[in-house]
Each structure stands twice: as C-alpha cells, then as structure tokens.
Amino acid sequence: MNPKKSILSLNSKLPSILDLSKSQLVDNLQNLEQPRFRGEQVWRAIYKECLTSFHDMTNLSKELRSILSQNYSIGRSSTVISKKSLDGSTDKILFRLSDGELIETVLMRYEADGHRRGRKTVCVSTQAGCALGCTFCATGQQGFRRNLTVGEITEQVLVMERLARTEDEGEVNSGKRSRGEIQGVTNVVFMGMGEPLANYDNMMAAIRVLNDQKGIAIGARHITISTVGLIPGIERLAEEDIQINLAVSLHAPDNETRSETMPINKRYPIEDLLQACQRFVEKTKRRIFIEYVLLKGQNDTPQHSAKLGEILKDLLCHVNLIPVNPTGDGPYHRTSYKEAQRFQSDLKKFNVPSTVRMEKGIDIDAGCGQLRDRALALTE
C-alpha cells in the first residue's frame, strides 16, 4: 500500500471525527437521531477495520453515510514525504496537517528473538515543534509551534496500522504466516516530535482511543511515554488507572553536563527528577526506562558511566543506551559501538540493567525532526 494513498479522507474544512472520544461519537450520532449502536459501528469501522471513507461503511444506511460525510472528515493530514530504510526495517512519513504544520511518524520493525515476538512499533509525535530546546535534537532546534489534537495523534497510528496490516496480509498470501497471525501495529511509543507530558490531556485521550478493545486495541503495557522530565506530568501520570510505560530522557549523570544539552534541567534538576521517578515506581509498581543518548566525548566517558551507575543503583529501572543520530552539521558525534558496550559493562558493576539500542533508520533521517528539517531546507 502506498502511504500517500492510504491517508485518511481529507477535507480540512470539516472537523475530524478522530478528535471525538467514543462517548462523544455516540452522543453526537444520538443527537442526529441515531441509536447508540450506530456510534459503536462507526467507531469499529474507523479503529478496528481502519476504513478511510464513510462511504465504505456499508453496514450503515446511505443516508447516514451521507450525513457523516457532510459533517466530518476522517483525519485531516496528507503525506509530504514517505521513506523506507535500505534494510526495510523502518518507514518514516512526514505529514502536513490541515494548517500546514509538519510532523513526523516512524514505523519500526523488529524481528522475533528468543524473548519476544516480532514487533511493529509506531513512534508518534504529540506536538509540532518543541519548546524544550535539547541541543542534540533536531525538533528541539525548531521551536514550538502548537500541540497536536487527539485526532492528529491517533491518525498517525491509523496510517501505520494499515501499512502494517497490508504487510501482514502480503505474508499470508505468500505463505509466510497464517491469517490468524495478522497483528498490525503491536507497540506505540510517544517519542516523536514534542514533549508528550506538555500536551498531557490530548496525549492521554489518544492513549485511551488506541487502548480501546473495540478498536486498534494496543495493550497498555505496549504503550510508552517518553519525557525530558516534567515532574508535574510524571506525578500526574502515576495517578492514572492505566498501566502504561514511562521512559525518562536523562542523557547525563550530573546537573552540569545535563544542563549543557537539556535546558529543562535548570527547572527540574536530576536529584528532583530521580525522586519523582522513585515515587512513580512506588505508586505504580512498574520499572522506569531511562533513555541515555551517547554523545562522543560529552557524556560517554568512564567517569560518566560510573556516576550514572551510582545514581541509578537504587531505582527500579532499565537503561537504554542510544548512540546519537547526528543532526546535520551539529557538534555531536556518535559513540562507537565498542565504547557503548564498555559503558554498558560499567553500569553492570552497579547492577543497573541496560541495552544498547538497535539503530533504526539512520539512512532516512529517522531521528526526531530530521526529515522536517530536510523538507524545509528544500523549499528555502
């Protein structure tokens, strides 16, 4: 399936039905003198069957399909650029929203191993741009534009869900898997453009849509929210009644180093952030993922690994070590795989578990904000 042709029906003058919760959708149809089950049928058609047009909802009357088409669109974005990595493991799409803003979404494929089944993970954006200004992040250098709506968040997953299902069906037709093994998207990570906890309400509303068992039905434990460390958001998340994962972007073991690359550290220093992480673990009984981008010569020395092990040794966590995906002519360079392994070994001395993250999509500007930067450069 060509992602350009798989974009949900476009009519920027109509409100997106994707911005409605299930209860709002049911209520709106009841206001149109439709029975409650009609709203649930429309919900299933959009989120379970992934239909792209009201006219394809043949279990509805022609009159209702016409009414829906006159009052709503199913999504309001269009594809600007779609790229696939040379190894076929990663797709990245640059979307243009109805007001012209650009956002990025990534689909990453992971082969099954001895511990986990094969996965298809969607990395979604929650904001156009970002206000937090992390110096190693392309999005952080673009400035904040606006928050995404609930529908703009969920639409990213719907587009990738149809792409993933098409791939699964192709493997069924070729005999590589059975029809019962069609799974589509298995995981969603809120690690794209923007700070998810700065768009908290829309993010959580989107998560509840994605988690709904009569829709795409992404399991809560297969959903991860990544934050630079907005402590009020972490504390609020700990009170939610859904068991989603939390990943905290730490990227340095001390305040001096972290403040150089992450301005937010001046508001929420490491000691306060780690206390909030500890409270999250105590409240939810769930481990936290610590994201640590390795910047050659900046935060990857033996001194840094020792400090990191020391401050994390009492926290229920798992560290993801990520060699930086360089942004254009930026000042940062990738730590070698050998040095990343040494860093990992140092953490093991403190009984801090870690993984050197697999590289995905370097050849297609898969780092956050990179494809948007390239597209804008081509139009200047």
Select which of 123, 134, 137, 368 is catalytic: 368
Q: How far is CA 248 from CA 32, 115, 251, 258, 279, in A?
A: 45, 24, 9, 13, 14
Contact predicate 12/75, CB 8 Å: no
Active site residue 104: yes
Contact predicate 340/328, CB 8 Å: no
Q: How far is CA 32 from CA 44, 62, 150, in A?
A: 19, 14, 23
Residue where the block lists tokens 């306060």: 272
Token pair listed for 36:
């409650």
Tell me the C-alpha distance between 159 and 154, whole Å. Answer: 9
For residue 146, give the H/E element and its range: strand 144-147
Cα 364 from chain centroid?
17
Q: Are strands 317-323 and 354-356 parallel, antiparallel or unpaired?
A: parallel
Select which of 50, 101, 104, 152 is catalytic: 104
Going by C-alpha positions, the residue among 379, 19, 74 that lies closest to residue 205 is: 19
CA 53, 58, 59, 65 torsion-angle sign: positive
Q: How far is CA 162 from CA 47, 145, 192, 293, 318, in A?
A: 10, 28, 19, 31, 32
Active site residue 134: no
Catalytic residues: 104, 368
